[in-house]
Amino acid sequence: MSSSPTDASTDGEAALDDLSFADALERLEALVERLDDPDDPPPLEEALDAYEEGTTLARECMKRLNDAELRVERLSIDE
């Protein structure tokens, strides 16, 4: 039985929630480095998978940064 795209998305989101910000950023940097390697470029399918994972990680990192910024703003207002 194959899993649906929704199931895969949910699994990916759960795995992303388990990553710390630092780990997510480190993974993103590793993907970018792999995609930018001119001496050993990945095969197309691998590159597409890495790009997809990278965009997901980038969105999650931006979301966490925005959330942190909002928390800091709230703390500043409360003072």
The model's pLDDT over 49-74, given as tens digits with 9 standing for 90+, comes to 999 999 999 999 999 999 999 999 99
Q: What is the pTM of this model?
A: 0.76
Q: Do 50 and 34 meet the contact criterion of CB atoms below 8 Å apart? A: yes
Contacts of 31 (CB under 8 A, 6+ apart): 50, 51, 53, 54, 57
What is the set of domains in the chain, with CATH numbers?
5-78 (1.10.287)
Q: Do 32 and 54 meet the contact criterion of CB atoms below 8 Å apart? A: yes
What is residue 10's predicted lDDT score, i.e. its pLDDT?
Answer: 57
C-alpha pair distances (Å), 59 with each of 24, 35, 51, 63? 10, 18, 12, 6
Q: Which residue has the tokens 């930018």?
A: 36
What is residue 6's predicted lDDT score, i.e. its pLDDT?
Answer: 45
